[in-house]
Amino acid sequence: MLSGLMMDYPLTLNTIVDHASRMTPEKTIKTKLPDGRWHEYSYAEFRRRVKRLGNALQALGVEPGDRVGTFAWNNFQHLEFYFGIPCAGAVVHTLNIRLSPEQLKYIIDHAEDRVIFVDGSLLPLIEPIAAQLETVERFVVFNLADGQSCSLPNVSHYEDLMAAASEDYEWRCADENMALGLCYTSGTTGMPKGVLYSHRSMMLHTLGALAAAALGPTETDVVLAVVPQFHAMAWGLPYAAAWVGATIVMPGPHLQPAPLAVMIESQGVTIAAGVPTIWNGLYHELRGRPRDISSITQLVVGGSAMPRGLIEAYERDFGVNVVHAWGMTEMSPIGSVAKLQTRHLDLDADGRWDIKAKQGYFVPGVDARIVDDAGRELPWDGATMGELQVRGYWVAGQYYRLEREREHFTEDGWFRTGDVVTIDPQGIMTITDRTKDLVKSGGEWISSVDLENMLISHPDVLEAAVIAVPDERWGERPLAVLVPLAEGHDPQALNDYLLERFPKFWLPDDYVLVEEIPKTGVGKMDKKVLRQWHADGKLGSA
């Protein structure tokens, strides 16, 4: 074999912060603070703070490989942790602030976090469990409000540590295979499972995210990560945006539709990323109180299926291009993006929206196949449904501190996503369901996702979730749980509406109304809770 003769230049995270402060030192990172004021500083200052953080961590006794938790909104401090902790050789473990106390304790103990950085506004969520945490030696708090007390044990204040630390620091992440970050899955089944990213996998993922076929931010972009930093590394946007020196806008705790609308307008945001629930809320806000959001070139949406009706409505009503992406915590997370290709350029608007509502093309770096129950590969004909399996540069090879079990990883090296999909001959993937959410009625599959998308496009419906409920005759039947937009609700009208698109046996047996669909910690509809409500007889009829 003739080996290549290229440099052995490690794929390590310091490259990003060094590059940004060199190439775009004056570009800025802006954060909306809890009190509504803006904090802003340059990439040059950012790098100095990241270096200080390295020394501060060393002063705390944090060693390479140690896990350091973050319990925070999206803000500049969290961005400093994103870089400073891995560049000090330690592992940034993003803690989901919406987990239950039991789940939070479980993942902190499981990860064996030694230090946790805590945002002042979130103290009440962590204080009650602080004394029970098995491995945490120190809490570092920041953003404390004036006069706010803190009952955590062994507390340091972030700005005190930073003030005492020098900016003279040598990065401690020379090996690209070192662990960089740890993120636990949102845990809609069982306990959350940890995914441990390496510098190498995250740098390759960042390059993947920078490809125009994926998200492709550039220096001229103003990037707003609404997706929390604890949800699958904010989909890689902070790293990608920083590498090219884009302006980064961090919303802090201001995630409600009204402040988001103002933020997008006032900051001239060009790329914004969030889950469908967020964009659904923003859409209704903008209908009620118009704002100019036409600066947006990519409204990135993922985490759950974006209803086609909403993609259409954003483009039709506000001229905003929605980019539908699919991913998983286990994939760092980007897997596929629904961007149009040459063959779609002649399509009319309807045809284009059909494509954009799908989960799209696998991005370069991700390989995929679909298989049946016996693991046999299925055709890409756009009709045959099967379980999606993936492999690639940034796909997990096993869960943190768990065996590499067959339930999630195949013997021949693929990750089992648990998503049921079709792939068409051109390679466009469409998610039909999660394996556990499909409705199996009389031996036939009914896609809860398809029904939900259609229901939400009806003018009377704000939110819709479809769950399988046990049925003596058919095994399972679909039940629709709705949040109506206005008083009054006519199941017959909804049935007629669904019949335009689906066979009769797909129609829900019942429609029940709720005030709100329960959501998981990352804002997805929590069907596990809905199934429980149904089992407990808590879901009445409409």
The least CB distance from residue 394 to ligand AMP, in Å, is: 13
Residue from 134, 170, 436, 440 carrying the catalytic annotation: 440
Helices (H), 182-298: 199-210, 237-244, 257-267, 276-288
Residue 324, strand partner residues: 301
Smaller CB separation from ligand AMP, 15 or 417: 417
- Among 185, 188, 270, 432, which one carries the catalytic annotation? 185
What is the Cα–Cα distance from 174 to 171, expressed in whole angstroms?
8
Q: How far is CA 311 from CA 39, 110, 124, 267, in A?
A: 32, 40, 38, 23
* Distance of closest approach, residue 306 Cβ to ligand AMP, in angstroms: 6
105 a catalytic residue = no
330 is catalytic: yes
Token code pair at residue 170: 């040598």
Task: State in angstroms the smallest separation of the CB of 437 from ligand AMP.
Answer: 8
Q: Which helix (H) or strand (E) holds 84?
A: helix 76-87
State the Cα–Cα distance between residues 498 and 485, nearest whole angstrom: 18
Identify the CA nearest to 114 among candidates 170, 67, 60.
67
Question: 263, 270, 274, 181: which is closest to 235 by C-alpha?
Answer: 274
Supply the minimum distance, in Å, between the C-beta of residue 137 and ligand AMP: 30
CA 487 to chain centroid, in Å, comes to 33
Query: Which one-letter amino acid corresponds to residue 517?
Result: I
Question: Min. distance of Cβ 8 from ligand AMP in angstroms?
Answer: 33
Distance between CA atoms of residues 193 and 330, nearest Å: 10
Which helix (H) or strand (E) segment is 157 a member of?
A: strand 155-157
DSSP codes, 299-360 = EEE-SSPPPHHHHHHHHHHH-PPEEEEEE-GGGSSEEEE----GGGTT--HHHHHHHHTS-B
At closest approach, how far in Å is the CB of 48 from ligand AMP?
A: 33
Q: What residues line the site for ligand AMP (CB under 6 A)? A: 185-186, 232, 302-305, 324-329, 333, 359, 417-419, 431, 434, 522
Assign 3-class secondary structure to 461-525.
EEEEEEEEEEECCCEEEEEEEEEECCCCCCHHHHHHHHHCCCCHHHCCCEEEECCCCCECCCCCE
Q: Give every strand in the sheet of 298-301, ordered side by side.
A: 38-42, 28-32, 247-250, 222-225, 271-274, 298-301, 322-327, 334-337, 361-362
Between 67 and 527, whose beta carbon lies closer to ligand AMP?
527
Per DSSP bridges, beta strands 334-337 and 361-362 are antiparallel
Q: Closest approach of Cβ 537 to ligand AMP, in Å?
A: 28
The distance of closest approach from Cβ of residue 64 to ligand AMP in the complex, given in angstroms and rounded to an integer, is 27
Options 28, 410, 445, 533, the catalytic residue = 445
Give the number of other CB atoms < 10 A from CB of residue 376: 9
Residue 410 appears among annotated catalytic residues: no
Which residues belong to the active site?
185, 330, 440, 445
